[in-house]
């Protein structure tokens, strides 16, 4: 544990880690959600799952030492956001194809390395949604849906300041709502899933086929739309329509006050949000139209959410 050299000035903080397939981000986060320090390191998944785990433990230990040196006190807890299937309650990273993990007892490993600090483990998307709900675009809203439009599409369901994980940790899989019967095959085994029709990967794939450029991306499609390209416009509108269909289903089930949209596709700005709001409104009958807004926290959301989980974990342990 990192106790040596404690200064007279003390800043309460926790350690937060956001483990990605390529980069692991880390931060020291104050009790009010302030980012006190940020860092990043390559995840190094090419070295194998055991090496990735060792790297995470080392990164957390270095943050612990830095916290004592720079903030004047040891960290009070640790929060970790990881991809894949997560058992939040047991602190186990159940499965991650990207990292090659199966049944990794991350809470136990970190607690052992850091001298028994409380450790919270969470799904990376739900951590991002937690941060957006409490600190970002959903702040002050009791019900929200955080939608991430990237290579795939997934959502986090926010209720009264927490994220609903579901009975089996699978809540929010909006990307696998079927929106186009007989549509493109999805790796999940269905066809016409929302993420096969409206994700950044889907838009990029469709624009690559239409433009004849094998490496074309969704961002390039959006730029072509802005330039008035009719083929790009048709692809973009098709994705908007599919996304609106999926969202209307989600709104009927969840009735959020705000839908927060993040991920690569959201970087298109008004080119996405203006037609999406219109398409959703046209499809609604008696349901209320929620605010549909861009995410506010960007790449910091995962670390901030992991930090919030750490503070929550500490509160539970103190009051238990």
13-123 and 137-296 share one CATH topology?
yes
Q: Which residues of 268-304 are buried (b: 16+ CB within 10 A; e: fewer)?
A: beebbeebbbebbeebeeeeeebebbbbbbeebbbbb
| Residues whose CB falls within 8 Å of the CB of residue 158, separated by 6 or more in sequence, listed in order | 129, 130, 133, 138, 141, 143, 144, 145, 146, 164, 256
pTM: 0.88
What is the average pLDDT across 27-44? 91
Alpha carbon distance 159, 199 (integer Å)? 25
| Homologous superfamily of the 137-296 domain (CATH) | ATPase, nucleotide binding domain (3.30.420.40)
pLDDT in tens, 229-273: 999 999 999 999 999 999 999 999 999 999 999 998 999 999 999
Predicted pLDDT at 282: 96
> Which of these CATH numbers, 3.40.50.150, 3.50.50.60, 3.30.420.40, 3.90.10.10, describes 13-123?
3.30.420.40
What is the average pLDDT across 305-310? 95
Q: Regarding predicted confidence, which is higher, 272 or 100?
A: 272
Task: Answer yes or no: is pLDDT of 7 > 80.
Answer: no
- Quickly state the pLDDT bin for 317 (edges 50, 70, 90): low
What is the average pLDDT across 36-55? 91
- The sheet with strand 23-30 has its strands ordered as 35-42, 23-30, 13-19, 78-82, 119-123
Predicted pLDDT at 73: 85
pLDDT in tens, 70-97: 888 889 999 999 988 888 889 999 988 7
Listed by start position, the domains of the chain span 13-123, 137-296
Q: Mean of the per-residue pLDDT values for the chain?
A: 90
């Amino acid at each position: 544990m990192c106790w040596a050299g404690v200064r007279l000035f003390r800043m309460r903080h926790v350690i937060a880690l956001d483990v990605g397939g390529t980069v692991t981000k880390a931060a020291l986060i104050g009790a009010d959600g302030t980012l006190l320090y940020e860092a990043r390191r390559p995840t190094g998944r090419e070295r194998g799952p055991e090496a990735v785990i060792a790297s995470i433990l080392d990164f957390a230990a270095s943050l612990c030492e830095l916290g004592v040196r720079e903030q004047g006190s040891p960290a009070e807890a640790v929060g970790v956001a990881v991809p894949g299937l997560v058992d939040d309650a047991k602190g186990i990273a159940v499965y991650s194809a990207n990292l090659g993990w199966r049944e990794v007892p991350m809470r136990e490993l970190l607690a052992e390395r850091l001298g028994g600090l409380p450790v919270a483990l969470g799904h990376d998307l739900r951590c991002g949604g937690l941060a957006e709900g409490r600190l970002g675009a959903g702040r002050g809203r009791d019900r929200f849906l955080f939608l991430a439009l990237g290579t795939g599409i997934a959502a986090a369901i926010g209720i009264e300041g927490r994220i609903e994980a579901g009975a089996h940790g699978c809540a929010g899989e909006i990307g696998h709502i079927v929106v186009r019967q007989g549509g493109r095959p999805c790796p999940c085994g269905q066809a016409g899933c929302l993420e096969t029709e409206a994700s950044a990967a889907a838009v990029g794939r469709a624009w690559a086929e239409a433009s004849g450029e094998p490496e074309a991306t969704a961002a390039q499609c959006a730029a072509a739309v802005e330039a008035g390209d009719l083929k790009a416009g048709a692809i973009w509108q098709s994705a908007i329509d599919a996304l609106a269909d999926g969202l209307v289903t989600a709104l009927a089930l969840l009735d959020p006050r705000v839908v927060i949209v993040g991920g690569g596709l959201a970087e298109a700005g008004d080119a996405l949000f203006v037609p999406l709001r219109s398409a959703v409104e046209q499809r609604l009958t008696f349901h209320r139209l929620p605010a549909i807004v861009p995410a506010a926290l960007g790449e910091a959301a995962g670390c901030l959410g992991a930090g919030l989980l750490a503070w929550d974990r500490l509160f539970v342990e103190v009051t238990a």
